[in-house]
Chain A
Amino acid sequence: MRVLMLGWELPPHNSGGLGVACYNLCKALARRNIDIEFILPYQADHGIDFMRVTAASPQGVEAILRSGIAYDSNKYIYSDGTAVEYSIFDQQQLYETAVGRIVVANQYDIIHAHDWLTFRAGLRAKQALGCPLVVHAHSIEADRAGGQGGNPMVREIEDMGFHMADRIVAVSDFTRRAIAREYDIPLDKIEVVHNSLETGDLVPLDYMQPNTYQYLATLRAQGYRVVANVGRLTIQKGLPNLLRAAKIVVEKHPKTMFLLVGSGEQYVELIQLAADLGIAKNVIFTDFQRGRPWRDAYAVADLFVLPSVSEPFGLTPLEAIGYGTPSLISKQSGVSEVLHHALKVDYWDVNEMANQIIAVMSNDSLRDELLANASQELRGLSWGQAADKISALYTRHVASGAAA
C-alpha cells in the first residue's frame, strides 16, 4: 500500500497539534507496512526514517524560510536570489501546483490530505492519479473562527474537499458533527479517528535541573497553586473566558497563579484584559515555547485548563497528564470524548469554570485523585488504534476503487 500523504507541517517544525498528529499517525501506519510519501510545503530536516518526506517547492525555489507558525506567511527564496513573501492562501496554491508536478512521476494507491491547506492539492492529485482521496479534518474553519463563520475562501475549499473526497476522517465526533452541520455532508461519510498520545513519546522531564518557572515553584512552596494553559492565543482557544474565571478564582483563592504559554493574535488583548480585570500580578505570559520550558509549564501546574470555544481534538490536556497535571477541559472539545477523568465545563460558563478551578486550587486530594485516574486512562491510549482504523479504511477504498 503506497500512500501519498499531504500535510502542512511536521515536528520539530510544527506550530501545534497538526504536525504532531500527522507525525504520530504516519509512524503508527508505517509500523503496519504502509509505505508513505509525505509532501510538505517547505524544506527541512526532520530526522524521519519511517517514511519519505518530500518538499513541494515551486519551480526555481531554492529555499522556503518559515516565518513563524504554520499559518503565517513564509519567505520563498528563488535561485536568482530574489525573495518573495507569500500569504498562506498563495502558498496553498503553490503547494497544489508543486504536488501536481510530483505525482505525475510516481505511483500511489491512495491519497490522504490533512486539513484545508492540502485539499486542493489532494483533488489535483486525485484527478491526475485516479485513486481514492481521503481528507482528514484536524480542524475546520468554523473552529478556527471561534465557533462559526470564518474566511469564506477557506470555507469554499473545505466545502469542495469534503464533497469531492471519497472519505472524510474527523478527529472527533465533535468535528464530525461540525462538518455535517457546516457543509451538509451526510454523517455516514465521516469516520471518527481520535488522536492519541503515547506517554513513551513524551520527552521526560529533567529532574536534575530546577523547573524553568522557579518563581512559580517557589510560590507553590508558599501555598500558591498554579493553573496553566499551553496553546495559541487565538479566538478559538477561549482564553478571555479563562481570564474572567481567573478573576473570580483570585477573589476566592488569592494564592492562585495563571501561566499562559503561547503566542497569537490575542496576545496584547489578553495582557490588557488581565490588567483591566485587576489580576495582572496573578497572570504570567511566556510567549511561544518549545522544549524544556514547554514541558516545565505543564509540570509546574496543579491544573491544566483547556477553555476552547471549539476544539476539534485538543492534545494539550493529554500532554499535561503525561507531565503530571490533571485537566479541566471544555465540553466543546474532541478530547473530552476520550478523556473521562477530567473536570469538564462549557466554555461559556465562566462561573462554573471558576468553581472547578477553585475546587482544585483549594484541594490537593482532588488534584491527586484526578491525576491518578487520568494517568491510568492515558496509558490505555495509543496511536495503534487510530492506525488500525485508517489502514482498514485504506484497504476498503483501494479495493472498491480497483473493483470500479
Chain B
Amino acid sequence: MTKSIVLYLHVHQPYRIRHYTALDSGNSHAYFNAPYESKASNERILKKVAEKSYIPTNHRLQRMIEHNPGFKLSMSITGTVLEQLEQWAPEALRSFQELVASGHVEIVAETYHHSLAFFYSRNEFEAQVTQHRAKIQQLFGQTPQVFRNTELAYNNDVAYWADKAGYKGILAEGWDPVLGWRSPNYVYRPAYTDNIRLLMKNYKLSDDIAFRFGDRNWSEWPLTADKFSHWLSENDKATNFNLFMDYETFGEHQWGESGIFDFLEHLPKQWLKTTRHEFMTVSEVCDAFEPADYVDVPRTITWADTERDLSAWLGNRIQQQAITALYELHDKIIATNDSSLIEDYRRLQTSDHFYYMCTKWFNDGDIHAYFSPYDSPYEAYMNFMNAYHDVRFRLAEKGVAV
C-alpha cells in the first residue's frame, strides 16, 4: 500500500508594534517602525530569520528537489511576511519563488494578515483570504486549493465555510480528544460537509522534529532521517503522515548546529528508498485517498499549547478587550475606503499581537519560553491599545463618530 509523507511548512512574520505610547496616539500614525536595534524591530528580525532560516532552508529544499524527483512539500506564507520579504530581503523572496517554480511546492490558502477574523467578522475574513490569494497569484502564479485557518484554528464552521468556498481540503490539529480512537494518519471528511477533506497534523511526529530534535535529554536524541523513516515504515495503519510545522523550525527554532538541515536533506533519500513510499502535497493527498471517517469538531481547536484551544490568544481580559474593541471598528474603517488606514487596521489583527498579551505562562521560568518582543504581556497590551486609539483618532479626524 502507498504511504505518503505530507510535509507542510508555515511561514509567517507579524508586523510587531513598536513602543507606542499614549503620547504617540493622535500624533504619530507609525505603529510598526521600531528602531532597528529594538527588540520589536521588524526589519532586524526579518533579516535575521531570512539569513538563519529562509535562505539556507530554501537552498536545501531546492537541492532535495533536484536530487529526489519524488520529493514534494506544501507551504503557507502569509501576506505580512511576503511584504516584509519584498521590502527587506528580496533575495529570500526570490528563493521562495524559485522553489515554487520547481513545481514541487503547493501553496496553501489562509488569511493575508494571519488573523482570527473568522471568529469576529466573516466579511473581513473573506476579504483577507481574497487578498492573500491575489498576492500568491501575483508572486507565485499559483491558486491555492487547500485552506488553513490562522494557528490551525478549526471547527465545523470553518470546515463548512471552506467547503462552500470550494477548497479541496483543510488542515487541523490531530488532537486526541477530537480524533478519539482514530489515527491522524488518514484522510477524513469534516462533519456536515460533502466534498472537502480534512488533514490532521500528526503532532507527535511533527513535534519530534519541531521541538524535540535538538533536545539532548530526549530519549530518542539524536534523531536521524534513517530512524525517523524507519518509525514511519513500521506503522502499517497509515496512508499519510501529516508533518505540519513552522518553517522557522529549520535554522531558527532548531539551530543549524543541531543538524536539522542534514536531517531534512536525508529524509527524502531514506524514505524514498522503499517502493510505494511517496511524498505528496496537501491537495494530492486529498485526491489520492478516500476519507476513512468523518470528524465532528463543534469546539474550536488550534495547534497551540497543551490546551489546543484559543486561550493563548483570547484567554484573558486584556486579550478579549483588545480584540473586541478592534473588530467593533470594522465597518467604520472599511467604509472610509482609506487604504493606508485599512492596511494598518488589518496589521493590528495579526494574531501574534494577542499572543504577546498572554499572561498564563508569564512567571519566572517561562518568561523566555515564548517569543515576545516585549518585557511583559501588559506592555504588549499597552502598545496595542495606544495604536488602537490612534486608529480611532484617524476615524474621528474623518468626521466618523467613534
CB distance from A344 to the nearest CB of B (A): 7
Contact A368 B317, CB 8 Å, known A248-B23, A373-B362: yes
B-chain residues with CB within 8 Å of residue A370 when the two chains form the complex: 378
Contact A369 B359, CB 8 Å, known A354-B23, A355-B22, A363-B321: yes
| A:333-371 near B, CB below 8 Å | 340-341, 343-344, 351-352, 354-356, 358-359, 362-363, 365-366, 368-370
| B:145-160 near A, CB below 8 Å | none
Check if A354 sits within 8 Å of B321, measured CB to CB: no
Task: Choose one: A340, A343, A358; the contact of B364 (CB below 8 Å).
Answer: A340
B-chain residues with CB within 8 Å of residue A191 when the two chains form the complex: none
Check if A366 sits within 8 Å of B381, measured CB to CB: yes
CB distance from B102 to the nearest CB of A (A): 48
Task: Choose one: B318, B367, B379, B386; the contact of A365 (CB below 8 Å).
Answer: B318
Check if A369 sits within 8 Å of B316, measured CB to CB: yes
Contact A351 B317, CB 8 Å, known A359-B382, A359-B386, A369-B359: no
A354 to B385, CA, bound (A): 15
A-chain residues with CB within 8 Å of residue B375 when the two chains form the complex: 344
Asked if B339 is at the interface (CB within 8 A of a chain A CB), the reply is: no
**Size of the chain B interface, CB-CB below 8 angstroms:** 21
Interface size grouping (class) on chain A = 20 to 34
Mark A234-265 against chain B: 1 for CB-CB distance below 8 A, else 0: 00000000000000100010000000000000
A-chain residues with CB within 8 Å of residue B367 when the two chains form the complex: 340
Instruction: Please give me the residue from chain B that is nearest to A370 by CB atom.
Output: B378
Asked if A377 is at the interface (CB within 8 A of a chain B CB), the reply is: yes
A354 to B381, CA, bound (A): 16
| B:365-383 near A, CB below 8 Å | 367, 375-376, 378-379, 381-382
Mark A79-109 against chain B: 1 for CB-CB distance below 8 A, else 0: 0000000000000000000000000000000
Asked if B21 is at the interface (CB within 8 A of a chain A CB), the reply is: yes
| B:317-366 near A, CB below 8 Å | 317-318, 320-321, 359, 362-364
Q: What is the number of contacts between chain A and chain B, taking CB atoms within 8 Å?
A: 57
CB distance from A70 to the nearest CB of B (A): 33
A-chain residues with CB within 8 Å of residue B321 when the two chains form the complex: 363, 365-366
A377 to B317, CA, bound (A): 17
A182 to B58, CA, bound (A): 54
CB distance from B384 to the nearest CB of A (A): 10
A373 to B361, CA, bound (A): 11
CB distance from B327 to the nearest CB of A (A): 16
A-chain residues with CB within 8 Å of residue B316 when the two chains form the complex: 369
B-chain residues with CB within 8 Å of residue A340 when the two chains form the complex: 362-364, 367, 376
Instruction: Please give me the residue from chain B that is nearest to A352 by CB atom.
Output: B21
A358 to B385, CA, bound (A): 11
Mark A155-189 against chain B: 1 for CB-CB distance below 8 A, else 0: 00000000000000000000000000000000000
Known: A340-B367, A343-B379. 17 other contacts (CB 8 A): A248-B23, A340-B376, A341-B359, A341-B362, A343-B378, A344-B375, A344-B376, A351-B23, A352-B21, A355-B21, A355-B22, A359-B385, A365-B321, A366-B385, A369-B359, A373-B359, A373-B362
Task: List 6 tightest A-B contacts by C-beta distance, closest first.
Answer: A355-B21, A358-B22, A365-B321, A359-B382, A365-B317, A369-B317
A interface with B by C-beta (< 8 Å): 248, 252, 340-341, 343-344, 351-352, 354-356, 358-359, 362-363, 365-366, 368-370, 372-373, 377
B interface with A by C-beta (< 8 Å): 21-23, 316-318, 320-321, 359, 362-364, 367, 375-376, 378-379, 381-382, 385-386
